[in-house]
A = this chain, B = another copy of it.
Amino acid sequence: MRSTTQRGRGSARRAFRRSRPVRPATGESRSRKRKEATNRAAKSEARRAAIVQAALDEFCARGFAATRIDDVAARAGVAKGTIYLYFDDKEALFREIVTTMLVPLVAVLEAPPPDIPIRDVIARFMDVFVQEIYSTQRRNVLRLVMTEGPRFPELAEFHYRNVVERALAAMRALLGRARERGELKDDTLIRFPQLIVAPGMVAIVWSGLFDRFAPLDVAAMMRAHIDTLFEGCAP
């Protein structure tokens, strides 16, 4: 990854994806104490999850550079050294988070859409956004991507390949079919599907910066956005 943020502390840099090699069954094949082993594995997984969660909170609150491993450890309720049993270094931890939280969502987008008008499909998509992203921690993860992406080229690339590209492709396929069915008057949205998600991005940015001054009714804005998209504002 070679982030431009951490000036090389000398640790080996491994490739981006697959940061967790599924832990090769570490010798607990001794077959003795089966339950114990299961217990141990479960506890280990719980620990890992606690660390990830704590790290997510800290990274979101402070950004990558300003987050201290100390704080992550404290929040996760483990010792500092323990984190290094689960992750190679701070960057690997960061990657893990940004990597695992978003990819699952794309599956939703890529699922074959119900056979309803495109406007309704997009309306559902907006609902999913509001429910599954904006109202959850994923909002913060997305913000992290926007925020730290410029400093982590490989992270940006990963995100592009695994989230953005696939989402846009799915969207385009959807819109293409709608166009064929005569539900769209031109191919504007097909060329720029970004126009569909733009208010979502704004909502995410807004929520991090200005919500305390002027809270935004995101659901209402998304509905208004759909109106505008499909009907325009001219009388």
Contacts and interface: CB of A to CB of B under 8 A. Distances in A.
B188 A194 contact: no
Interface in A30-57: none
A13 B206 CA distance: 27
A84 interface: no
Main secondary structure of the interface of A (DSSP, over half): helix
Number of this chain's copies in the assembly equals: 4
A185 B233 CA distance: 6
Contacts of A125: none
B2 A209 contact: no
**Residue with the greatest number of chain B CB neighbours at <10 A, chosen from A94, A164, A198:** A198
A155 B209 CA distance: 9
A146 B224 contact: no
A91 B6 contact: yes
A107 interface: no
A33 B134 CA distance: 49
B66 A164 contact: no
A209 B149 contact: yes
A201 to B, nearest CB: 5
Given A151-B63, A209-B160, A233 B189 contact: yes
Given A65-B66, A225-B195, A210 B5 contact: no
Interface of A: 1-10, 13, 16, 60-66, 68, 90-92, 94-95, 119, 143, 145-157, 159-161, 164-165, 182-186, 188-189, 191-192, 194-195, 197-199, 201-202, 205-206, 208-210, 213-214, 216, 220-221, 224-225, 227-235
